[in-house]
Structure 1
Amino acid sequence: MLERDRELAELLAASDDAGHGWGSVVLVFGEAGIGKTSLVRAFTEAVGADVRVLVGACDDLMAPRALGALRDAAAGTGGPLERTLAEGAAGEAVFAAISAEMSQAGRVVLVVEDVHWADDATLDALTYLAGRVDDLGTVLVLTFRDDELGTRHPLQRLLGALTRARVRRLPLRPLSPDAVARLAAGSGRDPRTLHAVTCGNPFYVTEVLADTPGEVPETVADAVLARVRVLGEDCRTALEQLSVVPTHVGLRLAEELLGDRLDALAEAERRGIVEVRPEGLAFRHELARRAIEGSLPALRRRTLDRAVVRALLARREPDRDRLLHHAVRSDDAETIAAHAPAAAREAARAGSHRQALTHFEAALRHPDRFTAADRAGLMDDYAWELYNAHRFTSAVRAGQEAVRLYEPSADPAAFGRALVRLSRHHYMTGETDAAEDAVSRAVRVLDPLGRTPELASALTHQGALLALTGHSERAVRVLDQARRLAGEHGCPDLISLCLNYLGVARADLGEPAPALRCVRESLATALHAGSHESAARAYTNLAELLYRFGDFAGLDRCVEEGLAFTRECGFWSHAYNLDVHRCLALMRRGETASAEQGLRALVEGVDDPGMLYVYSVPPYARLLARRGDAGAEKPLIQAWHRALRQRSLPGLAYAGIAYAEWAWLARRPEAAGAVRDLLLPFLDRPGRESFRAELLWHLARSGPAAEPFEGCPEPYAASLRGDWRTAAEGFAAAGAPYEQALELAESGELGPTLTALGVLDRLGASAAADPVRARLRALGLRRVPRGPVPTTRTHPAGLTARQSDVLELLAEGRTNAEIARHLVLSVRTVEHHVAAILDKLGATSRREATETARAAGLLGLGPAAPTRWDPGSPGTVGFA
C-alpha cells in the first residue's frame, strides 16, 4: 500500500459521504499489476462494521457469465438481488432488484472488479445503478485497466453515461523510485535497476523481490516463471492445471481436477504464488496465471482444458459459460453443440448480446452437428443478435440463410417469423424494397394459418414499413388490423408497435396532436409491459415527430429520458438515433461545437450505422459545409442517394435539406435543382409542411424566389414573403441564431447585416459569412470585420468552446440561470454543460471545478460574448 494513502482516503471519504446520503461512483484504474485489487481490499477492510460490502469480479472468459459479477456480489445475502438473479430474471427486474438491494438499511458499498471484462447485461445494470447512486446513498467502486480501453470498448458506454453521477476518479500511478528503494531495502537488489526494469509496477517489483537475488528479469512473465521453476514437480504440474482456468478456481473444481495433488499447492501458497479466497483458489494476480499458461505448449494447454471440460460435465448443472470457454479452447465439438445454443439464448434473454453472439458463433462453426431445422433456428437467432450489435449487413446474410434453411421445412410459423426478422434487417441496412418483399412474403405464408400471433407480428411490421415510406392511409388500415389481432393474443409489445407506427402515419396525414398521443400511448404501453425494444422504438419515433413539429423543449425531455433508457437497456441503434436528434437540437440553438463533436463521434465511431447513416451524416456534413470544409460534398451525395433508395420521410428530409443548403453554400445551383425536382413533390402533402418550408427556404437562396404555400409554418413563411424582419424575430424567438443571422443578412441595412456577420462568425459559419462581408462592402462599410482569429481547436482539458465559456462564468460565481441569460441558452443546456465540465475536470462540485481550472491555468482563455439583435433598433451592432 505504499503511495496509496490519498486514494484510500478518497475511498473512505466516499463511504463517509454515503453515510450522509451522498452516493457516488469511484473509478479505480490503471495498468495490470498496479495495485487496484490491493487498494480495494484495504478499503473494504477499513470501512466501519455498519457498512455492508458486496464484492464481485468480472471474468476473463471467452464469453463472460451474464451478470456474473452481480451474482457473486449478491451470493449468500438472501436479498432481493440474489433472489431475482436466481430466478433468471433480466432487464427491468434486475434493475429493480439492484435498487431494492441498495435501499436496504445502512450504507452499501458495491465493488465490481475488472469491469473491462464485463458482459453487456452487467454493464447495463451498472449504468442503471450509476445514475441512481446519489439518491440511493450507495458507493459503487469499479476497477478496470484503462490501457485496454479503445474508443469502441463496451465499457466506454458506461463511462460516457456517468455525467449524471457524482464521480471520483482514482488513477493509480507506478511506484516512485523512493518507494521501490524502500521495498528493496535489504534484498541485495539495486533499487535504481529494479525501478528502471519494472517501471515501478508494484506486482512486478514484488515478484522480482520474492525471487532469489540475481539479475532482474526483463518482463513480468520472466519474473513469475523464475519463481515457479524452483517449486517441486507436483506443485508445478498443479499450477499448470490451474493456470488454464481464468479468474479463480472453486475449491470443488480444484479437488475434481487435482485430487490428491491439491496438497502440493501448499508450497505455492507459502511462496505467495496462489491464494485461498472465499470464492476458491486464485493466483495472486492474473498476470501470474497468464505467465504460466503462456509458457505451456499448445497441446499441453488443450489437454488441460479437456480435463476442465470433463470435470464440469460431471456436474448436474455445469456452469455453461466456463464449460464452453474450455470446450472451444480444446475444440470439443460435441460439448459445444450440446451447450452453446442454450448458453447463447440465455445470454440473449439476460441482455448480454455480445456474449450471445460469441456462443452462437461457436455453435455455428460445427453445422454438421445440427439438423437443418435446428441450424435454421440458430441462424435466425444469430441474425437477431447481429442486429442488436449494429452489424446490420451481417444480420441480413444470416437472416437470408435462416430463411433458406426454413423454406423446405414443415414449420410455416417459424418460416414466417424468420421472414419478419429478415425484413427488419433489410430495413436497417436501408434496403427498403427488400424489406417490403420479405414482410409481404411473411404475410402470405402466415395468413393460411389463421389469426396467429405470428400473423399479428407480420402485419405489424408490414404496417410499420407502410407508415415509414409514406403509404399512410394503407398503413392505418393494416396497423388497426394488426392491433386487434395482437390484442386477441395478449401481445403488448406488438400493440405498442402498432400504436407507435399509427402515430407516424397520422403525422403524415397532417394530424400532429393525434400522432403524438399515439406514440406517447405506445411508449406507456411498452414501459408498463416491460417491452423494452418497443419502448426504445417509441422514444426514437417520438423524438423524430417532436423535431418535425418544432417542439424543441419536448424534444429535450424525450431525448434525455430516451437516452438514459436505451443506454441502460443496451439498445445502441436506438440510442444512436436519439443522439442524432440531441445534436440536431444543439445545431438549432447555435451550439455548433457541441453538435459537431457529438455528430462526429456518431459518424466516425460506429462501423455499421445502416439506415441511420442518412440521419447522422447529413447534419454533420451541414456543419462542415457551413465552415467551408470541402469534405462535406462526398458524404452528402452518398447520404442523398442512400435516402432515395431507403424512401423514409426523415431520411429523405434530413439528407435533401442538407444537400440543398450545401448547394447554396458551395454555389452549385444545379445540385439544388436536382434536389428540388426529386424531393419537393414528395413533401407536397399534409404532415410534411415543416420539411417543405425549410427546403424552400434554402432553395430560394440558390435560385428563383419561392412563394409560401398554404399551411407554410412561420417564420419560414415570412421569409418566403420577403419579410426579413418578421422572419428574424421569429427565428430569434425560436432560439435559432443561424437562421436568424441569414435573415438579418437579407435586410439590405448596415446594422442588421453587421449583426448577422457577428453571429455567423461566432458560429464558425465562414461559408455563410463570406457573402455577408461582400454585402457590407456593397453597403459602404470601409472596414469590414475580418472574422475570428484562427486559434487551436483543442482545449487543454478537452472542453468545447461553449463549455469554456460556461467555465469562465462558473468561476465568477454565476448561477445556472445567470449563465443561461448571459449566453442566451436554456437553463437545461447550461446544466448539461456544467455536468460535462465537472466530468472532464474530474470534479465533484462547481467550486472544485473552478479551483482545478484555476490551478491548471484554464481560465482567462476568453469566453465568447452573447450575440443579439434588437429588432426595435435597426442600427444596433452587437457581435463578438
Structure 2
Amino acid sequence: MGLLERDGALADLTRLQAQSAGGGRIALVAGEAGAGKSSLAAEFTRSVRPRARVLWGACDPLLTPRALGPVHDIAKQAGGELRERLGDGDRGAIFDAVLDALDGPRQARRPVVVMEDLHWADEATLDLVAFLGRRLSLCRALLLLTYRDDELGPDHPLRGVLAGLPRGPVHRLTLPPLSAGAVAELAGLAGRDAAPVYAQTGGNPLLVTEVLAAAGSGVPATVRDLVLSRLHALSPAARDAAALVSVVPAHAEPALLAGHAAGVDECLAGGVLTATADGVAFRHELLRRAVEESLSPVRRAALHAGILARLDGDPGVDPARLVHHAHHAGLAAAVLRWAPVAARRAAALGANRQAVAHYETALRHAAGVPDEQRAGLLEAYATVAYLAGLNEEALRARQEALTVREAAGDTALTGENLRWVSRLSWWTGRTEQARAAGARAVDVLEPLGPGPQLAMAYSNLSQLRMLANDDTAVAWGERAIELARRSGDLDTEVHALVNVGSARLQRGDPAGGDELERAHRVAAAAGLDDHAVRALVNRAGIAVEWYELDVAQEVLDRVLAYAEARELGGYARHLLGYRATVRLARGDWPGAENDASQGLAGPPQRGPFRCPAQVTLGLLWSRRGAPDSTGLLEAAAGSAYEAGELQFVGPVAAALAEHHWIAGDPRRALDEVRRGLPLAVRVGHPWLAGRLAYWQWRCGGPAVVDGIAEPYRLLIEGDVAGAAAEWERRGCEYAAAEALACGDDDEAGRALRVFDRLGAAATARRVRAELRRRGAPVPRGPRPATVADPAGLTARQREVLGLLADGLSDAEIAVRLSLSAKTVGHHVSAVLAKLGVPSRGQAAAIARRRSPKMGNPPHA
C-alpha cells in the first residue's frame, strides 16, 4: 500500500532534515498502533539515504525492556567508539559516545537517527532521549522518535521526557487515520467495497491493509481473525514459522529460524512476515500478538523453551531476552539463573526500575528454591528497590529475608538485615522501629567481633543519632570509620564520613560542609552512588534550613542531576522538595510550584521524605488562598509528627502556624508552634527555633529571643527595619515583607505591595484586616482578575504570556493585540519580573506548565 495522506508528514520530515544543517532537530511521530509510523519513517529514510547517514534502533516489548535497547541496534550500524562503550557498561560514556556519533565533521553526511516505539523504552533509553534533547542543537542531526500516543497513560514516564524537550528544535507529527476517501481509493484498487472496510477499520492504515490483503470476500471482525484466516491458507511449515516468530518480540534473527527456511520464505511471499535488517518480523506488533495469543499455552511455552535453548549459547545475547523466554516457558531454573544477571546489568547502567522488575520476576519463580537462595534474592531486590525509591517494598523484602536468616542461625546476615530494616524503617517514617532495629543489629553483631557488618551497624547508629540531632553521632561515626579502615571497607567508611560531616555541619561547623564534599568525591569515584548522593543531600538540606540559599541552590542543582542520571528516585523527589523551598524563599513561586508538584508526583510512598515538597506547595497555596492548602499541610504533619525529627517537625509546625494565622485562627497557630518550638530549642537550631518563635510572638504568645537567628531576634525585639534588611540581604523578599508587615503604616504598605505582586492574596487580606482594626489607612489592593492569577498577572499580561508561549515576537504580539511594539515590550518586562525569570523562553516554559485558563493555579 502506498503512503496515502502522508505527503504533508513526509514534507515536514524532509524540511526538518534540511534545517538540521543549522542545528539539530527532533521529530516526534505519534499515532495509534497501526497508524503507519514505521512506514512513514521507512519511506522518509529511503528518500534521504543518498544525502544522510541513517541509524535505526527500536524498543522491544519484552517482559522487562532491554536497558538501552535501541542503542545496541544503533551501535551495530555505527560501530567505532559507541560499540566499544556499550561493552564497558559506563552509562555516561555511552551517552557521550552517542552524541559524538551525531556530531561528525561538517563534510560528512548528516545523521538521521530513528528510535522506534519509545512507549516500550526502558528508563535508561528515556534518559538518553532527554540527554540528547538538551544537546542536539549543537549537532547537525535529525532525531526521529516514534511512539504510540494511545498507550501513554497519565503517569507514563515518556510524557515527562517529551514535556522536558526544548521547544525550539521539536516538531510534533500526529498521524491521523485515513479518510473515507483514501480507504475508498485503496478498496477500489483491490476490487473491494470501501464502506464495510472503512466501518470495520476506522481508517487505521494497518487494519485497512490487512483487510484488503486477506483472501476471500468477507471482512474479518478482528485482527486475530484476519491473521489466522491468512495463516490457514499457508502450508504447515509456514504456519510453524509464523508461530515461532510470534513469540519473539521485535524480530527473529536467522539463528532462531534454522530449519524453517521454506516456511519463512512462504510467509514472506504471502505478506505474513516482512524482512528486516537482522531477520524477519510481523509487519506490525498487533499481528504478532494475534498469532501468539492464538497458540495453546503448551505450544507457546514449548516455543519459548526452544528459543531459550538456542539463545542460551550466544555469549552476546542480552540477558533480558533470556529472562523473557524463560519466564514464558515456565522454566523456573532458567529464570533464577538469568534474572539476577539481567538485574545486575540493568543496575550497572543506572536502570534501577528494570533491575527491580527482573528481581520481581525471579522471586515469582522462587517458591521451591532453598530458603538461603530466596533470602539472597530478597536482599538483592531490596537494595535496588531502595535505590529506585520503592522503600515500602524494600522494607518488606528485608523483613522477609531477616526471618529466613534468623531461622537459619546466620548471625552476620541477621545483623546486616537488621541494619537494613533500620534504614528502610527510617525512610518510611517509622523512626522508633528504625532505632530499635539499629540497636538490635549492634547487639547481634558485636559478639562476632570486628567486621564489615559491625562497622556498618555502628555507622547506621551514627546516622540515626545525626538525624535526631544527637551529640553522640560523631562518636559512633568515628568508631565505624576506625573499624572500616582496619578492614579496608570503603563502603562503610564513606557512609560514616557522611554522618560525621553532617553532624558537624548541623552544629554550625563549616568544616562539616567540606567533609561532605570530600565524602561525595570519594564515593562518586568508587561508584558508591547512594553515599555520593546522600552526602550532597545532607549538605543541601542543612543549607536550606540555615538559609544559606546560594550554597543550597548550587548543591541542589548538582546533586539533582547526579541522582536523576542514576535513577535514584527516592532521593530525586526529596531533593525537588528542597529546591522548591529555596525557590519559594527567593520569590520564584512558579518554579517552586513546579518543583514541589514534581516531587509529589508518581506512586505514593509512606514516610516524611515528601514533607519539603508538601510544606512548600501547602504554604504557596495558603498564601494565595487556595482551598487545597489545608489538606496538603495536614498530610505533611501526619508524616512529620510521626517521624518526630526536627528536620520534618520544625518546617511543618511553622507552616501550619503561618497557615492558621493567615486564616485568622491564632489559637490553632499557637498549638502548632508548641509541637515544634520546644524541640527546636532543645536541639539548638537557631533558624527553626527562630521561625517558630516568630509565629509564637506574632500570634500573641510569649517572646523568645535567646538562641534564635538574627532576623527573628531583631523583629521580636522591635527592629522591623533591621529584620527586613537581613532578609533582603539573603534574597528573601516574602520574609522581608512579613517583617515589614509588623511595622508602622508605611512599612505595612510596603509589605502589601510585595504580597500583591507575588500573588499572596490571602496574606495580603490578613494584613489589610490588621490595618483596619488599628484604624490605619489601607492601601488599595490589585484588581480581582489579577488576584486570581497565581503570579499576579493582569488580564493583558496573561494574554502576552500566552503569545510568548506560542513563540511570537514583540512585533507579532503587537499586531495580534493591536498595540504598539513599545507597549508590548513594557508588558513583556512586567511579565518577566512577576514570574521571576530572566528570559522569554523561561516565561514561555512557565506558561506551558500553567492551566489552559492561564488564571488559575493547576490545583484549582
SS of equivalent residue, structure 1 residue 75: helix
**TM-score, scaled relative to structure 2:** 0.87
Comparing 659-668 and 591-600, the one that deviates more: 591-600
How far off is 1:74 after superposition?
Answer: 0.8
User: What is the correspondence of 1:449-460 to structure 2 with a 5 Å cutoff?
Assistant: 451-460=450-459
Contact 2:462/2:474, CA 8 A, preserved across alignment: yes
Following the alignment from structure 1 to structure 2, what is the Cα–Cα distance between the partners of residues 618 and 233? 66
Contact 1:567/1:575, CA 8 A, preserved across alignment: yes
What amino acid is aligned across from residue 46 of structure 1 in structure 2? S
1:141 paired residue among 138, 141, 144: 144
Q: Deviations over 1:211-256 (max 9, x none)?
A: 347454444444444433433343233312321222111111122x
User: Is 1:203 matched up with 2:199?
Assistant: no
2:6 maps to 4
Following the alignment from structure 2 to structure 1, what is the Cα–Cα distance between the partners of residues 168 and 488? 38
1:517 maps to 514
Q: Deviations over 1:796-832 (max 9, x none)?
A: xxx9999659759974379999848961665568764
Contact 2:29/2:146, CA 8 A, preserved across alignment: yes
Contact 1:187/1:213, CA 8 A, preserved across alignment: no
How far off is 1:429 after superposition?
Answer: 0.3
How far off is 1:526 after superposition?
Answer: 3.0
Q: Deviations over 1:832-856 (max 9, x none)?
A: 4445558999xxxxxxxxxxxxxxx
2:738 paired residue among 710, 723, 742: 742
User: Is 1:326 matched up with 2:328?
Assistant: no
2:254 maps to 251
Q: Deviations over 1:779-810 (max 9, x none)?
A: 46599548523869999xxx999965975997
What amino acid is aligned across from residue 434 of structure 1 in structure 2? Q
1:187 maps to 190
1:678 maps to 675
CA RMSD for the aligned pairs?
3.8
Residues 435/532 of structure 1: CA separation in 2 closer, same or farther (3 Å cut):
same
1:92 maps to 92
Q: Deviations over 1:376-426 (max 9, x none)?
A: 111111112322333222211110111121224465444443333222211
What amino acid is aligned across from residue 7 of structure 1 in structure 2? A
Following the alignment from structure 1 to structure 2, what is the Cα–Cα distance between the partners of residues 554 and 9? 49
SS of equivalent residue, structure 2 residue 172: strand
How far off is 1:755 after superposition?
Answer: 5.1
How far off is 1:167 after superposition?
Answer: 3.0
Contact 2:577/2:611, CA 8 A, preserved across alignment: no
1:498 maps to 496
Contact 1:63/1:321, CA 8 A, preserved across alignment: yes
Contact 1:29/1:36, CA 8 A, preserved across alignment: yes
How far off is 1:641 after superposition?
Answer: 4.0
How far off is 1:428 after superposition?
Answer: 1.0
Following the alignment from structure 1 to structure 2, what is the Cα–Cα distance between the partners of residues 490 and 24? 50
Aligned residues: 834
1:823 maps to 833
Residues 730/389 of structure 1: CA separation in 2 closer, same or farther (3 Å cut):
same
Q: Deviations over 1:286-325 (max 9, x none)?
A: 1111122233344443343344344445667765322332
Comparing 376-385 and 50-59, the one that deviates more: 50-59
Comparing 733-742 and 288-297, the one that deviates more: 733-742
2:818 maps to none
1:236 maps to 239
How far off is 1:643 after superposition?
Answer: 1.9
1:702 maps to 699
1:872 maps to none
SS of equivalent residue, structure 1 residue 276: strand
1:34 maps to 35
Following the alignment from structure 1 to structure 2, what is the Cα–Cα distance between the partners of residues 378 and 421? 15
2:653 maps to 656
Following the alignment from structure 1 to structure 2, what is the Cα–Cα distance between the partners of residues 5 and 25? 19
Comparing 33-42 and 339-348, the one that deviates more: 339-348
What amino acid is aligned across from residue 508 of structure 1 in structure 2? Q
1:44 maps to 45
Q: Give the structure, 1 or 2, with the largest relative contact order (CA under 8 Å, sep 6 or more).
A: 1
What amino acid is aligned across from residue 85 of structure 2 in structure 1? T
Residues 772/806 of structure 1: CA separation in 2 closer, same or farther (3 Å cut):
farther
Contact 1:619/1:654, CA 8 A, preserved across alignment: no
Following the alignment from structure 1 to structure 2, what is the Cα–Cα distance between the partners of residues 609 and 17? 49
2:68 maps to 67
How far off is 1:62 after superposition?
Answer: 0.9
Contact 1:510/1:687, CA 8 A, preserved across alignment: no
Residues 311/783 of structure 1: CA separation in 2 closer, same or farther (3 Å cut):
closer
Comparing 388-397 and 135-144, the one that deviates more: 135-144
Residues 723/388 of structure 1: CA separation in 2 closer, same or farther (3 Å cut):
same
Following the alignment from structure 2 to structure 1, what is the Cα–Cα distance between the partners of residues 409 and 826? 65
Following the alignment from structure 1 to structure 2, what is the Cα–Cα distance between the partners of residues 812 and 423? 59
User: Is 1:567 matched up with 2:564?
Assistant: yes
User: Is 1:557 matched up with 2:554?
Assistant: yes
How far off is 1:491 after superposition?
Answer: 5.2
SS of equivalent residue, structure 1 residue 397: helix
1:395 maps to 394
Contact 2:590/2:846, CA 8 A, preserved across alignment: no
Residues 838/825 of structure 1: CA separation in 2 closer, same or farther (3 Å cut):
closer
SS of equivalent residue, structure 2 residue 189: coil
1:712 paired residue among 709, 727, 734: 709
What amino acid is aligned across from residue 383 of structure 1 in structure 2? A
Contact 1:30/1:172, CA 8 A, preserved across alignment: yes
1:176 maps to 179
How far off is 1:199 after superposition?
Answer: 2.8
Comparing 801-810 and 65-74, the one that deviates more: 801-810
Contact 1:708/1:717, CA 8 A, preserved across alignment: yes
Following the alignment from structure 1 to structure 2, what is the Cα–Cα distance between the partners of residues 771 and 549? 28
**TM-score, scaled relative to structure 1:** 0.85
Following the alignment from structure 1 to structure 2, what is the Cα–Cα distance between the partners of residues 109 and 819? 40
How far off is 1:285 after superposition?
Answer: 0.9
1:474 paired residue among 456, 472, 480: 472
Segments of 5+ residues of structure 1 without an aligned counterpart are: 842-857, 865-880
Following the alignment from structure 2 to structure 1, what is the Cα–Cα distance between the partners of residues 85 and 418? 35
How far off is 1:482 after superposition?
Answer: 3.2
What amino acid is aligned across from residue 135 of structure 2 in structure 1? R
How far off is 1:658 after superposition?
Answer: 1.2
What amino acid is aligned across from residue 127 of structure 1 in structure 2? A
Residues 68/586 of structure 1: CA separation in 2 closer, same or farther (3 Å cut):
same
Following the alignment from structure 1 to structure 2, what is the Cα–Cα distance between the partners of residues 482 and 753? 54
User: What is the correspondence of 1:593-612 to structure 2 with a 5 Å cutoff?
Assistant: 593-603=590-600, 605-608=602-605, 610-612=607-609
Following the alignment from structure 2 to structure 1, what is the Cα–Cα distance between the partners of residues 604 and 194? 48
SS of equivalent residue, structure 1 residue 32: coil
SS of equivalent residue, structure 2 residue 361: helix
Segments of 5+ residues of structure 2 without an aligned counterpart are: 812-823
1:580 maps to 577
Contact 2:351/2:566, CA 8 A, preserved across alignment: no
Q: Deviations over 1:736-764 (max 9, x none)?
A: 44334434433442x55455445434544
How far off is 1:534 after superposition?
Answer: 2.4
Following the alignment from structure 1 to structure 2, what is the Cα–Cα distance between the partners of residues 632 and 739? 19
SS of equivalent residue, structure 2 residue 353: helix
Following the alignment from structure 2 to structure 1, what is the Cα–Cα distance between the partners of residues 689 and 404? 46
SS of equivalent residue, structure 2 residue 784: coil
1:724 maps to 720
Q: Deviations over 1:703-756 (max 9, x none)?
A: 225243355222x3332223334444544554444334434433442x554554
Following the alignment from structure 1 to structure 2, what is the Cα–Cα distance between the partners of residues 657 and 801? 37
Following the alignment from structure 1 to structure 2, what is the Cα–Cα distance between the partners of residues 590 and 804? 22
Residues 241/819 of structure 1: CA separation in 2 closer, same or farther (3 Å cut):
same
How far off is 1:359 after superposition?
Answer: 2.6
**Identity of counterpart residues, as a percentage?**
34
What amino acid is aligned across from residue 767 of structure 1 in structure 2? A
2:816 maps to none
Following the alignment from structure 1 to structure 2, what is the Cα–Cα distance between the partners of residues 818 and 837? 13
Following the alignment from structure 1 to structure 2, what is the Cα–Cα distance between the partners of residues 791 and 643? 31
Contact 1:516/1:545, CA 8 A, preserved across alignment: no
